[in-house]
Each structure stands twice: as C-alpha cells, then as structure tokens.
C-alpha cells in the first residue's frame, strides 16, 4: 500500500485500505517496520504522523510539500538541479562542525494550492 502511494499516508488512510485489520495491530506493525528502518514516520503540520516506505527500500529519493492549513502532505520529485543545490547547501551548513552529511531530509512547509489565498 505504501509502495503504491504517491504521498505519505496517515494511519487513518492505512486502516481505510485494510478493512478488518484492527487499529492496534496496524499501529504495532508500522511501529515495528519503522524501528527496522523499512518504514519512515513523518511528522506533518497537524497531529497526524504519516507513513511512507523508507528511501532505502523504495529507492525513490524525494521531498515533501506540507500544508499547514489542511495538513496535506505531497511527495515532490528530487530533480538533479535541486539535489545539487541541496548538497552544496548541506556541505556549507555542516562543514564548520566537521559533520559528514550522508543524506538529507528536506520538506517544504506552507499552503497548498487549495488553501493559499
Ligand atoms: Zn491545504
Ligand atoms: Zn534530496
């Protein structure tokens, strides 16, 4: 289900597409998968954490658009141009601390097309 989605899913959405699975076992299973590094839980702008496949599993590096008004979370493609700019910015930010960057997480927070004035 997570692999087939073009955005992270809330627990509610996971449950809706898996009728008959008790909430407690769905939550437990996702927690175990998250602990194992297979699933990633993303904190959004609302109280609903969302779940997606970890990038090491999906092989799909991407970023997120997060709407502070309706809570929407959408995947956004990581273009080569964006990735070059982010790698450069990451080096600049980390170099001074002697920190070696191995990956980045970059989410954009704002208003979606339906919520912006
Ligand atoms: Zn919105
Ligand atoms: Zn990236």
Confidence band for 19, pLDDT divided at 50, 70 and 90: confident
DSSP string over 66-98: EETTT--EEEEE--HHHHHHHHHHHHHHHHTTT
Tell me 101's DSSP state.
P
Q: How far is the CA of 115 from the centre of ligand 1 (A)?
A: 4
For range 75-81, the mean pLDDT: 93
Q: How far is the CA of 37 from the centre of ligand 1 (A)?
A: 29
Q: Is residue 41 part of a domain?
A: yes
| Sheet of 62-67, strands arranged across | 73-77, 62-67, 107-110
- What is the per-residue pLDDT for 40? 94
Q: Is residue 115 part of a domain?
A: no
Q: Is residue 74 part of a domain?
A: yes
Q: Is residue 2 part of a domain?
A: no
- Indicate which ligand has the atom closest to the C-alpha of 107: 2
- Indicate which ligand has the atom closest to the C-alpha of 55: 2
Nearest CA-CA partner of 52 in 114, 88, 105, 94: 105
Q: Per residue in 46-73, pLDDT tens?
A: 878 899 999 999 988 999 999 999 999 9
Give the domain range for residue 86: 9-110
Domain count within the chain: 1
Q: How far is the CA of 76 from the centre of ligand 1 (A)?
A: 15
CATH number at residue 104: 3.30.1490.190
- Indicate which ligand has the atom closest to the C-alpha of 79: 2
Q: Is residue 26 part of a domain?
A: yes
Q: Is residue 91 part of a domain?
A: yes
Confidence (pTM): 0.82
Cα end-to-end span (Å), the chain: 33
Q: Is residue 4 part of a domain?
A: no
Q: How far is the CA of 1 from the centre of ligand 2 (A)?
A: 23
């Amino acid at each position: 289900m997570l692999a087939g989605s073009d955005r992270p899913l809330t627990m509610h959405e996971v449950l809706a597409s898996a009728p008959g699975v008790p909430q407690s076992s769905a939550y437990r299973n996702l927690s175990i998968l998250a602990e194992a590094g297979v699933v990633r839980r993303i904190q959004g702008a609302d109280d609903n954490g969302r779940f997606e496949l970890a990038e090491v599993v999906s092989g799909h590096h991407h970023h997120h658009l997060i709407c502070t008004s309706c809570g929407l979370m959408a995947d956004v493609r990581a273009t080569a141009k964006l990735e070059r700019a982010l790698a450069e910015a990451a080096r600049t930010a980390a170099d001074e601390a002697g920190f070696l960057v191995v990956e980045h997480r970059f989410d954009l927070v704002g208003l979606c097309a339906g919520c912006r004035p």
